[in-house]
Amino acid sequence: MNKLKSELLMPAGNLDKLKTAVLYGADAIYLGTPDMSLRTKAEFTLEQIKEGITFAHAHGKRIYLTLNLFSHNKDVPKLEEYVATIKELAPDGVIIADPGVFQYVRTHAPDVPLHVSTQANVCSWMSVKFWEDMGADLCVLAREVSFAELVEIREKCPDIKLEAFVHGAMCMTYSGRCLLSNFMSERGANQGNCANSCRWGYKVHLRLRDGTIQELEINEDNKDMFEFLLEEGHRPGEFMPIEESNDAAYILNSKDLCLMPKLDKYLKLGVDSLKVEGRGKSMYYVALVARTYRKAMDDWANDPENWSPKSYMQELSNVSNRGFTLAFHEGRLSNYAHNYDQTQSIGTWEFAGVITEITDTAFHLTVKNRIQAGDVMEFLTPDGRETVLLRMYEYENINNNKITDVVHAGIKPIVRIPFSLFDREDIDLLKHRIPLGTIVRKETLLTDTQWNRVKLDKTAQRIEVSGNTEGPLNPRYEKNRDSLRTALSEADKVRKPKVNPKLGLDGCCGRGCNGCLMFWNDPAYAKARELMATKKQGQLLDKDMREDLPQSANAAQ
């Protein structure tokens, strides 16, 4: 790889997303099976991985397989088959975190390039040197590495490839090593089954001890009676005040990483691989983020002196996010790196569908979200140039030939978009610019509360990029924050975690996910574990198999 040219590395959670990443400009894609790759919701079988590698290589792209779980004893027997498959598939690299797994693959598949995962927490040039001596071809640096540290690592380690995260979700732990999910819902984050407990809302309550133990919630009537203080064991008498809003506080909720405002620094340094997080994200996310970073990287290469991140940042705000932060780029987090008031991912546009067929007279759009009369369809052309807009007032469903004002995605409809509607476009050029797999989006209808969140996020992002983060909070930020809190209070919404946090069998689906402590340790799933032992790698228990389980296990689902 040319040391001065960085690759754009995109995630893929299934074969369609892989093809989307290729279409929209990724240089490389990383992926894996559900049981060995820290994503139990990945939808790849080994057969599909083989197809994906063939497809990517045919388009001149690289594929990296993820084998980055921390292995337990039950995972070791799978390695022999996995390594045999790796040698057959010939990927361009395998991403590994566990030293034992690293040594096993290096011994049994010596020709496969080995990449050290961010899970290995590589934060110094000394650690990079260690892995280089062990035989690693590339080190994925931990998200905690600052840019200044990255510069020093590059200087002291010129002969090994370096990879850095530039975009995606952040963990409230040390480069993903989380135990919170294990304790809250018995789902192992380090086995690919994280319940995202850091995204849940938490409230502070007082408990009175008067014989009956009554719970006292802080409210408008009594909030001025209390002040909450923390005392650390080695600092007796030093009381630190803590504050809590009336609503649930998202005290562990980091904003999403976005280094686009500083991308030129990484490109100038020549970081070998710039990585985007999101194997569980949608095809729309993959397409828009790949398209935006591809154009930004190419534009910088063509004219680095006049490069500006502004237009690319505007485009990235169109896909769901929790607000953007530079995270550890400067070495220290700022007060603007977290979203304490709301955990929802918000984007001003959303996935409408994907072009799955092109006939002599029309595009066929497979609908992914509800569309209705008057919606503006925006075609994200893979060439990175201006998008194509089309307002539609009716939809022809090719499955039943009916014309309707509204199309619901639940029935997997396919609508016909006649070329005749594009009355201002050259149709031959249009068909060239909108190939199979093109993603189509539509504007999201946001509530007042959501628009307040968007405004707050953008204000915080501008402040953080400016570097003026020391001292008290920016007055404009405080004003926008108060507006959001008022809107949230008036909305009076009840927030519930997507996953039942109650311990026990209630939270286990019985599919056999690798990180599920309930499935792998509870006697109720003994028969299910026997069935799992007969399955191919990457294959979970489907519904029919789960129906054969004992009633004690089925009752938990």
Within-domain flag for 525: yes
DSSP 26: -
Which CATH number covers residue 302?
Answer: 3.20.20.70
Alpha carbons 195 and 174: distance in angstroms, whole number: 16
Same-domain status, 72 and 152: yes
Same-domain status, 122 and 205: no
> What's the confidence (pLDDT) of residue 500?
40
Within-domain flag for 335: no
Same-domain status, 68 and 154: yes
List b or e across 112-139, with b for residues whose CB sees 16 or more CB atoms inside 10 angstroms.
bbbbbbbbbbbbbbebbbebbeeebbbb
CA-based angle 72:77:80, to the nearest 5? 125
Same-domain status, 209 and 235: yes
Within-domain flag for 452: no
Same-domain status, 12 and 136: yes
For 250, the token pair is 């998202």
Within-domain flag for 53: yes
> What's the confidence (pLDDT) of residue 499?
40
Q: How many CA atoms lie less than 13 Å away from 380 in the CB half-sphere?
A: 33
> What's the confidence (pLDDT) of residue 148?
96
Same-domain status, 228 and 259: no
| Low-confidence stretches of the chain (pLDDT beneath 50) | 1-3, 493-506, 551-557
Same-domain status, 110 and 14: yes
SS3 call for 195: coil
The residue out of 443, 463, 482 marking a domain boundary is 443
- Cα–Cα distances (Å) from 392 to 205, 363, 372, 493, in that order, read 51, 13, 8, 33
In the chain, the number of structural domains is: 4
Neighbours of 322 (CB within 10 A): 22
Q: For residue range 388-437, what is the model confidence (pLDDT) as tens digits? A: 999 999 999 998 999 999 999 988 899 999 999 998 889 999 999 999 99
- Helix, strand, coil percentages (3-state) for the chain, rounded to 5, are 35, 20, 45
Alpha carbons 191 and 199: distance in angstroms, whole number: 19
Query: SS in 3 state form for 255-285?
Result: CEEECHHHHHHHHHHCCCEEEECCCCCCHHH
Within-domain flag for 500: no
Same-domain status, 238 and 263: no
- Cα–Cα distances (Å) from 19 to 52, 252, 328, in that order, read 8, 34, 32
Instruction: Kindly report the pTM of this predicted structure.
Output: 0.82
Alpha carbons 191 and 39: distance in angstroms, whole number: 8
For 335, the token pair is 């007060």
Same-domain status, 22 and 137: yes
Q: Are 213 and 207 in contact (CB under 8 A)?
A: yes
Same-domain status, 48 and 157: yes
> What's the confidence (pLDDT) of residue 332?
83
Alpha carbons 326 and 37: distance in angstroms, whole number: 26
State which residues form the domain around 281: 7-170+254-325
Same-domain status, 137 and 283: yes
> What's the confidence (pLDDT) of residue 390?
95
Neighbours of 105 (CB within 10 A): 22
> What's the confidence (pLDDT) of residue 495?
42
Q: Which stretches does DSSP call E strand in 72-227?
A: 93-96, 114-116, 138-140, 161-168, 205-208, 214-217
> What's the confidence (pLDDT) of residue 232?
62
For 268, the token pair is 């100038």
Alpha carbons 443 and 374: distance in angstroms, whole number: 11
Within-domain flag for 475: no
Within-domain flag for 494: no
Alpha carbons 72 and 36: distance in angstroms, whole number: 11
Same-domain status, 146 and 265: yes
Within-domain flag for 179: no
Which CATH number covers residue 356?
Answer: 2.40.30.10
CA 296 and chain centroid, separation = 20
